[in-house]
């Protein structure tokens, strides 16, 4: 048996190590995007400060932020992009190999679930940030609009019975109901009301 010690690093209380390896730098950048993506969805974009974000990403001070991004706006764009790709990726994974009808039901039931409602950090950006998205800069707006289009396309693909035009129209309305229901369920003041918004909308869509 043989061990090769590539690197031994002692990290003390204060700031010891300065410049990081390229690998570590890339990891830090990724960490910031992922953390931002979650925090923005949880607390809102304007309400999430860069200092807080850097601390949550394992940094000790906010100053290093601008070694990775040109501005907060740029991070918002990247975080939004990551959020949509992550969500769409998970949705695609959840229906891999399933038949269209079953796949459609899986997508709707996962989206309209208490779990999705409650796990804001991992939630769909459309429902988590909905009304805020229209006020972001152009580039981020395009990212959000593209995410929405891809989501509609994913839903439409599971409607093999209908023509592609009919499928797109129904998928559009279904996504509207999904997003609205999750937004409203997070607004409800009682658990019963909140759950029933999800359930009523689920049944409405699946019976249509």
Partner DNA sequence: TGTACATCAGTGAACGCGCGTTCACTGATGTAC
Binding site for DNA (CB under 7 A): 7, 9, 14-25, 28, 48-52, 54, 59-68, 71-73
DSSP H helices in the chain:
22-43, 50-56, 72-94, 100-111, 114-118, 125-133, 138-157, 164-187, 191-207
CA-nearest of 88, 169, 153 to 126 is 88
How far is C-alpha 130 from the chain's CA centre?
12
Q: Could you tell me if 149 and 83 are in contact, meaning their C-beta atoms sit under 8 angstroms apart? A: no
Coil, helix or strand at residue 135 = coil
124 is an interface residue for a copy of itself by CB under 8 A: no
Sequence-separated (6 or more) residues with CB below 8 Å from residue 193 = none
By C-beta, is 36 or 144 nearer to DNA? 36
131 binds, among DNA, a copy of itself, none (CB under 5 to 8 A by kind): a copy of itself
Instruction: Answer yes or no whether residue 208 interacts with a copy of itself by CB under 8 A.
Output: yes
- Residue 68's binding partner among a copy of itself, DNA, none (Cβ under 5 to 8 angstroms by kind) is DNA
Q: Which of 27, 145, 153, 191 is in the footprint of a copy of itself by CB under 8 A?
A: 145
Nearer to a copy of itself, 36 or 178 (CB): 178
Min dist CB 128 to a copy of itself, Å, is 6
Residues 6 or more apart whose CB falls under 8 angstroms from that of 206 comprise: 105, 108
Query: Considering only residues 107, 127, 155, 156, which one is a binding residue for a copy of itself as defined by CB under 8 A?
Result: 127
- Residues lying near a copy of itself in the complex (CB under 8 A) are found at 43-44, 46-47, 126-135, 141-142, 144-145, 148-149, 168-170, 172-181, 183-184, 186-189, 193, 196-197, 200-201, 203-205, 208
């Amino acid at each position: 048996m043989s061990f090769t010690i590539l690197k031994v690093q002692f990290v003390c209380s204060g700031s010891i190590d300065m410049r990081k390896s390229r690998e570590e730098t890339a990891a830090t950048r990724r960490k910031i995007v992922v953390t931002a993506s979650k925090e923005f969805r949880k607390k809102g974009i304007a309400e999430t400060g860069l200092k807080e974000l850097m601390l949550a990403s394992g940094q000790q001070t906010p100053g290093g932020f601008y070694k990775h991004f040109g501005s907060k706006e740029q991070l918002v764009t990247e975080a939004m992009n990551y959020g949509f790709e992550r969500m769409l990726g998970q949705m695609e994974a959840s229906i891999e190999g399933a038949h269209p009808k079953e796949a459609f039901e899986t997508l709707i039931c996962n989206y309209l679930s208490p779990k999705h409602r409650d796990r804001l950090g991992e939630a769909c950006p459309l429902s988590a940030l909905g009304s805020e998205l229209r006020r972001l800069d152009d580039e981020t707006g395009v990212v959000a609009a593209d995410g929405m289009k891809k989501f509609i396309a994913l839903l439409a693909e599971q409607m093999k019975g209908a023509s592609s035009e009919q499928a797109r129209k129904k998928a559009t309305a279904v996504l509207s109901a999904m997003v609205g229901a999750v937004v409203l369920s997070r607004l409800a003041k009682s658990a019963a009301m909140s759950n029933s918004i999800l359930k009523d909308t689920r049944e409405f869509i699946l019976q249509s």
